[in-house]
Amino acid sequence: MRGWGRGLADWWSRLWDALRTRASDPRYGRLHGWQLTAAAAAIGALGAGTKKTEPRPTPLVGRIIGTAAPTPGEDGPITVAGRTLLALTTGEEETLAPEVQRIKDAAQELKEGMASLGLSDVGMLTFEQALKEISPILMIVADGLKNLADSSEEEQPLDTSVIEYMHTIEGAARGSSEVAEELPGLFRAAHEVELQRLEAPRRGEHKWDVSKN
């Protein structure tokens, strides 16, 4: 009986660990404590929906959805009230505080810098350098969101749900950074011939340049 009891306890422990691991899937959002326990119990009692293997439209969508938690109820009373208050309190030409304006200006400068790169007369290797920096830039944004959430949690009287949603956005930014890591490799694969002629030119390569013929 003691052996049967131990075997049953071990089986239950493995099952419960598996349920909690499944409930910790990022698709279900950030669950802690009783929320995680309730989710695991629900999955054990009702079962979880089967995962579909249909391809997603783009790698970006798949990676980001897999990283970010789902959006809170779009039609819930808190969400509706928040949107209503935002619409009533946000003017068309709102004067931003210096601290907020600094962030907005930095974002605008980044946007203009990337747009100008696409319009400028730069070589392929310079363009490749820019593609390599997209992932670190997005990671800096993610780190900034994390620092904002952490410092706000320590210093600001914010509700826990607001802090957790900041971390959700941080996770999405990190997912974007991971997706961007694949861009330089894609660039190399798509332009293998051109890059080889740039980095290891044939003898007299310049004579057959399209700009000279």
Give the tens place of pLDDT for each residue, 35-71: 666 666 666 665 555 544 444 444 444 444 344 444 4
213: which DSSP letter? -
69: which DSSP letter? P
CA distance 32 to 29: 10
Cβ atoms 68, 171 nearer than 8 A: yes
Helix (H, G, I), strand (E, B) or coil at 102: helix
As given in the structure block, the two tokens for residue 191 are 């332009």
> For 121-188, where are the E strands, in sequence order?
none
Confidence of residue 11 (pLDDT cuts 50, 70, 90): confident
Cβ atoms 161, 119 nearer than 8 A: no
Q: What is the mean pLDDT of the chain?
A: 76
Threshold 0.75, pTM exceeds = no
pLDDT at 212 over 90: no
